[in-house]
Amino acid sequence: MNNWKRQHPTAIFIGFISNLKELIFTVIAVLIFGQSSQAGGTMFYTIFFSLILVVSLGNGIIKWVTFRYQLAEDELKIKQGLIFRKRRYIRKERIQSIDLNEKLLQRLFRLVEVRIETAGGGSEPEFRIVALKKQEALEIKNELLHKNPAEKTSEMEETGESLPMEEKSVSKTTSDQPYQWKLTGFRLFITAITSSGIGIAATFVAAITSQVQQFIPDAFYEQFIGWLLHSSILFIGFWVVVILFIGWFITLISTLLKYGMFQIEKQLDEIHITRGVLERRNLTLSATRITSVRIVQNILRQPFGFVSVYVESAGGGRKEEDLSTILIPLCKRKEVTQILENVLPEYAVDMVYTPLPKESVRRYIVRLIFPSVIIAGLLTYFLSYGWISFLLPIMAAGYGFWQYVDAGIGKNESLLWIRSRAIARTEVLIPRKRIQAMTTTQTFLQKFDLLFSVHVSIITSIIGKTFTLRHISKEQSEECYLWYSYEETENNRED
Amino acid sequence: MRLKPKQQLDLKALKVWRIVAILEWLFFFLILITYGILIKYLTFPVWPIYLILLGVLLIGYFKIFLVPKLQWEKWSYEIYENEVELMYGILVVRRVIIPMIRVQHVDTKQGPILRHYGLSTVTISTAATVHEIPGLEEEKADELRDYIAQLAREADPNE
């Protein structure tokens, strides 16, 4: 009975490498900011960093030695820690989802990372076993995720604990034909091209190029800068273009790798998302925990009618995706409803929007013109040719008008949908029963035009999130209010 | 449009807000005093002190007299069977609906000044948001807390 197992020894290596990855950022930061080129500096850093390396390696080994797990009948037992020993028993009923991730390093060694998500938040809703053989991981997954206890015990008796799960998974799939959606190669390419991460990547490239100067001999550098200053604005423009292009290229490749082989599979109440070329990532979402759907169309995708779809869910959600999970990286706007019908039928509605009242045009436009006039004024004052920047308020006005045109609201008995534009055009679909609280506000400026704003709050993985639509009419705000109110006799409430 | 909420905060809350405002105002008053001391010992021009005096008095008027009064007048709430409604704010008027079935817990709390006046604040938390009804009489606040908690417990989760 007492068969505690350790992870695959590669866990040490994987832990070490991921430490190294973090360390590299520290090294870069030190190189960039700590430009103390005194003698002995390099010596100090070398010793300092190698010490860190040794410590982290030792730490990894200790972790591997002390981390042990055991798969019991209805739970996963885990022991860890050298000085502070911790035992954790993860009970089967508490488990929300188990995902097997094949990150790059794991993949090299044909291992998987097991990510177990448990219910009820707590201090550690998520639990990872970094490196396991795929076989073992599947065993854990099948043991702990099998929903029907009666069926499970009978099967247990037949097959024993260590038998593979083929039978079980087969019985699962036959019971309910799963729906599948895949991102085609062409679409993947479009996703990568039109990804809006370019800005970030370009900034990164620019930051790197600005640091390159330290590695270039001073004489050459001075000469180069002198030449650059003499050369025309066109030439600087050329560099900007080059940097943007490199940034775009990096985004392109990373998006291709990230969303390559993207696939959704809907089975019963669970949505399985698998993605990634080098790193295979696996994510299970429970449809019952999804609190809203967002349809986002960035400017690059707008001309082609492409959108991406995100879901917020109570629990889950990756950090890098703004606490929400990408459900569909790219599809045509008109396909969304049809896909949602299969994946999240609750959200599959024809969204009809009522536009905002005419009065709110002014508010949208003024809101953007005001800061841009200030900026343009400052530029005119301080720069020759600064007056050109007075094009800015004109553009701002146009943009404000665009925001007004895109803004809209609509609802049926159970769903509210809001469309607005910050930079990308975003549509949010929120079920009434997922709204935690609704607020309408009216600023003193809105008062002149009898306008309101509406805010709805929902739960996301960590904290609440509030969606806002500005400058709706009085009737629209009252409608929202009545729609959300849980009082039956809203209209004639009198004591 | 449905009727606006009618319940108002306790009148003593206004008093408490004013006391808090006075304490905050003392900080501005301190600037005045500091400048006065500076004039005495250093060669600082005298005229700005009148400007500062005017500013401090104006701030005092707004903070201590005008704002709390308006705030109190604008604050109203109503506890219905299925939801709580709040309405408050001077420049930005907020109107909030919190359905009973979304209420996760209700607390009362009081600081030293509120306690001195026998007042307490009711805090209503949902899974995503936190709302406050500041300054109700202690007993009433406790009653309200228990009442909301009970309604929240009884609320039909299928609604």
Question: How big is the A-B interface in CB pairs under 8 Å?
Answer: 85
DSSP A434: G
Domain end, chosen from B47, B73, B99, is at B73
Q: What is the pLDDT of residues B45-93, one digit of tens each?
A: 888 888 889 999 999 999 999 999 999 999 999 999 889 999 999 999 9
Residues 6+ apart with CB under 8 A from A3: A70
Let me know if residue B25 belongs to a domain. yes
Mean pLDDT of A448-473: 87
SS3 state at A407: coil
B150 and B83 in one domain?
yes
Has this prediction a pTM greater than 0.95?
no
A417: phi > 0 → left, psi -120 to 50 → alpha, else beta; which?
beta
A485–B97 CB contact, under 8 Å: yes
- Identify which of A18-27, A137-146, A335-344, A486-495 has the greatest average pLDDT: A335-344
Cβ of B101 under 8 Å from any chain A Cβ? yes
Could you report the predicted ipTM of this complex, rounded to two decimals?
Answer: 0.84
Q: Which of A440, A486, A490 is facing B159, going by the closest CB pair?
A: A486
User: Among B54, B73, B92, where does a domain finish?
Assistant: B73
Query: How many angstroms away from the CA of B87 is the closest CA of chain A?
Result: 9
Q: What is the pLDDT of residues B106-146, one digit of tens each?
A: 999 998 999 999 999 999 998 888 999 998 999 999 999 99
Residues B46 and B111 in one domain: no
Inter-residue contact A308 to A424 (CB < 8 Å): no
pLDDT given for residue A402 in this prediction: 93
Rg (CA), chain B: 21
State how far residue B83 is from chain A, nearest Cα, in angstroms: 6
- Tell me the chain A residues in contact with residue B81 when contact means C-beta distances shorter than 8 Å: 487
Q: Which two tokens stand for residue A430?
A: 């929120």
pLDDT interval class at A54 (50, 70, 90): confident
Q: Which two tokens stand for residue A108?
A: 């090299």
pLDDT band for B98, please (50, 70, 90 cuts): very high
The pLDDT tens digits for A285-313 are 888 888 899 999 988 888 889 999 998 88
Q: How high is the mean pLDDT of chain A? A: 79
Among left, alpha and beta (phi > 0; psi -120 to 50; other), residue A167 is alpha
User: How far is A444 from A371, CA to CA, in rounded Å?
Assistant: 19
In a domain, B3, yes or no: no
How crowded is residue A62: how many other Cβ atoms within 10 Å of its Cβ?
14
B69 with B81, same domain? no
Domain assignments of chain A as residue spans, ordered by start: 10-175, 176-342, 359-403
Is 60 exceeded by the pLDDT of residue A45?
A: yes
Does B2 map to a domain?
Answer: no
**Closest residue to B80, CB basis, from A481, A487, A491:** A487
Confidence of residue A22 (pLDDT cuts 50, 70, 90): confident
CB-CB neighbors (< 8 A) of B80 in chain A? 486-487, 493
Which residues from chain B sit within 8 angstroms of residue A467, using beta carbons?
none
Shared domain check, B122 and B140: yes
In B, which residues are within 8 Å of A485 by CB distance? 2, 83, 97
Please report residues of B whose CB lies closer than 8 A to that of A490.
Answer: 2
Looking at B73, B97, B113, the residue that finishes a domain is B73
Greatest mean pLDDT among A35-39, A236-240, A256-260, A439-443 lies in: A439-443
pLDDT band at A488 (very low <50, low <70, confident <90, very high): low
The more confident residue out of A357 and A104 is A357
CB of A298 closer than 8 Å to CB of A196: yes
Which of A248, A317, A364, A363 has its CA nearest to residue A461? A317
* Same domain assignment for residues B30 and B60: yes
- CA–CA distance, A68 with A5 (Å, rounded to integer): 5
- Going through A72-174 in order, the beta strands assigned E by DSSP cover 75-80, 86-91, 95-101, 111-118, 126-133
Q: Do A486 and B99 touch (CB under 8 A)?
A: yes
Confidence of residue A14 (pLDDT cuts 50, 70, 90): confident
Q: Do B92 and A442 touch (CB under 8 A)?
A: yes
DSSP letters of A305-320? TEEEEEEEESS---GG
- Domains identified in chain B, total number: 2
* Among the partner residues B92, B100, B101, nearest to A441 by beta-carbon distance: B92
Task: Please enumerate in sequence order all residues whose Cβ is within 8 A of that of B71, keeping only pairs 6 or more positions apart, or say none.
Answer: B17, B88, B90
Give the domain extent around B21: 11-73
Strand order in the sheet with A415-421: A325-332, A306-313, A290-297, A425-431, A415-421, A408-411, A354-355
Residue B38 lies in a domain: yes
Residues B21 and B49 in one domain: yes
**Taking the CB of residue B6, how many other CB atoms lie within 10 A of it?**
10
- Among A50, A53, A47, residue whose Cα is nearest residue A19: A53
Looking at the structure, do residues B102 and B123 belong to the same domain, yes or no?
Answer: yes
Two tokens, residue B112: 């030293």
Q: Is B129 on the interface with A (CB under 8 A)?
A: yes
Q: Please tell me which residue, B46 or A394, carries the higher pLDDT value.
A: A394
Neighbours of A222 (CB within 10 A): 11
Among the partner-chain residues B94, B97, B126, the one whose CB lies closest to the CB of A484 is B97
CATH number at residue B109: 2.30.29.210
Indicate whether B69 and B82 sit together in one domain: no
Are B116 and B145 part of one and the same domain?
yes
Chain A residues near residue B7 by CB distance under 8 angstroms: none
Top residue of B70, B81, B102 to mutate, by most chain A CBs within 10 Å, is B102
